[in-house]
Structure 1
């Protein structure tokens, strides 16, 4: 009897394991079981209309989840329990993710257009030979102001942001790296 119970428990454990594995596989492959791209991206980086156009042109369904900081993205991926085909970290985070074994090498045989990329944006120190990443989005940090309330001459340099006139009127991007840069620049 004990042996029969042990066998029944073993069969139940295998069935339960297969059910969990099958559920995870379906989630990573989408509802149809195929042609799904699981994307982890910054909020507001891709127009939903562009995703719809991509889905119609390729037949792939896009599951997009968003994050608001590199650190939040890193933590979620590092904790596990999630699986993304593509994520969009900033440059410095790619190196950190690589060191934490959170990235897989790109299969460049499946990438078209690499030769058209600006040479200044590829083969960077954080990912030599673009083994794990390719450029997606490039930009700079700047000052945006409403000219109905502020004169252009009042916001020409980072140190002008500390003018008492602007107290409680400034918003900054939620990025420690991007917030420290203006402070350090303004201090010389």
Structure 2
């Protein structure tokens, strides 16, 4: 099985490992999984849209799209209407290579507001609602990372603690929680 990961630093971060931490965490759970991780730190929905316009990305069984953490950041915010338009255009481009049952959108994860100065959970809610709306519009699956983190047996603040410890970028515990959520979705598909 091959999965494609598209998004920002939350998919791209190594957190001290030799590969993106999410790749490592998924391989621990799913033996034999092949992962193409094209996530790029700092990317927002405009960046992902541009990437998909320039490069055809095919051959995966499932595509996970996790974008929004940079779109909602107040110092470089992409307004909700533009964000929604970008997501729709991203969806249309992906549908040229994949069918709707192969595409999964993720909503932004919660942030620790005591450490995060440019993102709030209120904004996370707004942007997550837009992602869920577009996912439903295109018959894509949607994973609410807010729910995933909140339903974990660990406190959200503990999940959000990583090397950077900025209330946004998480470490091994967060990647374990994320990998379990992705694996659960993968197992419903196969």
Q: Which of the five TM-score ranges fits, normalised by the shorter chain?
A: 0.3 to 0.5
Higher helix share: 1
Higher RCO, Cα 8 Å, sep 6+ = 2
TM-score normalised per structure 2: 0.37
TM-score normalised per structure 1: 0.37
Tell me which structure has the larger Cα radius of gyration.
Answer: 1
